[in-house]
Amino acid sequence: MEGVAAIIPKPTTVSIPVVRAPAQVPYEDEAFLNELDRAEEMPEKSKEPKVLSVSDLNRYIKELLEGQFATIWLKAEISNFKSHTSGHFYFSLKDSRAQISAVMFRGHNSQLRFRPEDGMEVLVRGKVTVYEPRGNYQMFCEMMEPVGAGALQKAFEQLKAKLQKEGLFDESRKRQLPALPRHIAIVTSPTGAAIRDMLNVLGRRFKGAHVTVIPCKVQGDAAPGEIVEAIKLAQQLKDIDVMIVGRGGGSIEDLWAFNDERVARAIAATRVPVISAVGHEVDFTIADFVADLRAPTPSAAAELVVRNAADLVDRLRGFERSIKLALARRLGFSREQLGYLTKRLVDPQRKIQDASIRADELLQRLELATIRALNDRKRQIPILSMRLRSNIQNSLVRKKDALIKNMAVLDSLSPLKVLDRGFSMVVMGEKIITEAKDLKPNDAITIRMSSGSVEAVVTKTNSEISKAKLGEDE
């Protein structure tokens, strides 16, 4: 059995086999019971009880249960459901009077086409076993299906909600079909009525279409896997423009392969637009929601994917008429413009004469404008001259005042003014002497005063006279 689309046959009634009598149990248990029987018949003094370990007891019980309940069908309600991080399902199966622990390992639950929930009534197939370390007995579930008329609908709604939450149905993901596909891939059964209908429609509407049929099963346990592989194979055709995935009508069980999660994800992952054409107009599958476009029937899909050749010819003729009409309008407008320009066109010699007269007028206007400008400037010359003289006089007065001020400042800073106050200046050669240590006896010096100078010879120097002493001498 493969995939969540598997439709598992189940019995119309569910029965649990009855444990057989001790005489029919496996050899080890039979030997053990026989020993107990013989022990009861022995005299009391010779009785030696058979002592079992807990491990032996649990092992005997496990072998007994697994031998008697190798495969059973059980109808029950799910409770305490838990999906472990390992991928295994742990839950209880119960009715109104009892319950049993159950486990469904990842290898089996990955094939379910629905999500188990607490309170859901299910039909399970599996075997009863014992977990020896604890002595707990439980059921290993290998297969599970919802019970009731709405079981498949429940699985459908669960998968639909899951994929919608992931955004696989969003309109933003939908791609436009090519206007005129050159290569069409069809994934369907090669023997059904659907492929014949599609090929007939394509041949009638557009004989030049290149069609590649990728055969696969569209019904049964193996159908989902084959549909996925066919879609992948179509992806390897590099020049395809669009893909049709579908089949003819049938019951919900017949169409169930197109409600498989693997098929939905394969359609969503295609690189070209996909048309879903499953069943009749009233049939809806998960593939319809994931595909870029849903067709009510396979024949309708063929009509959607290509335009009718006659319609294309009519459309081309319409384009031709529109182009001719546009050209006629453009030509008429151009003729009107030509007539208007022809009327405006005059003798070239007359055109030159008019231009010459116009040039003379412009030249005369230019001369008059120049004369007026010169006269205006002449009238402004006396006024500007007076302004210039006034500005020059004002500037000279300001400069003279500034010069007098600067001369007074320089005069106050002149060394001659210092000499007028009784100071003198000692010069030896070209050098002004400011300190006694710069002189030595017999040096010839000149002493300059405010009026005149004195030639003298140094007889003695003293560098230690303080400024205070100098003030007292003064």
Nearest to 61 by CA among 132, 140, 138, 141: 132
pLDDT score recorded for residue 16: 32
Q: Which residues contact 309 (CB under 8 A, 6 or more apart)?
A: 205, 206, 207, 208
pLDDT score recorded for residue 19: 35
Indicate the CATH number for domain 22-155.
2.40.50.140
pLDDT score recorded for residue 449: 85
The model's pTM is 0.47
Superfamily designation of domain 169-307: Hypothetical protein af1403; domain 2 (3.40.50.10550)
- Domain residue spans in the chain? 22-155, 169-307, 346-413, 419-473
Please state whether 442 falls in left (phi above 0), alpha (psi between -120 and 50) or beta: left
Question: Which whole-number Å values give the CA distances from 449 to 144, 294, 311, 432, in the listed order?
Answer: 136, 126, 129, 13
Please state whether 309 falls in left (phi above 0), alpha (psi between -120 and 50) or beta: alpha
pLDDT score recorded for residue 48: 72
Burial classification of residue 362, based on how many CB atoms lie within 10 Å of its CB (0-12 exposed, 13-18 middle, 19 or more buried): exposed
Residue type, 455: E
Strand 431-433 to 425-428 pairing: antiparallel
Name the stretches of the chain with pLDDT < 70: 1-47, 148-150, 308-312, 345-347, 465-474
Question: Which whole-number Å values give the CA distances from 468 to 418, 419, 421, 462, 464, in the listed order?
Answer: 20, 21, 19, 15, 11
Q: Which residue has the tokens 């992931």?
A: 166
pLDDT score recorded for residue 105: 93
pLDDT score recorded for residue 413: 75
pLDDT score recorded for residue 44: 54
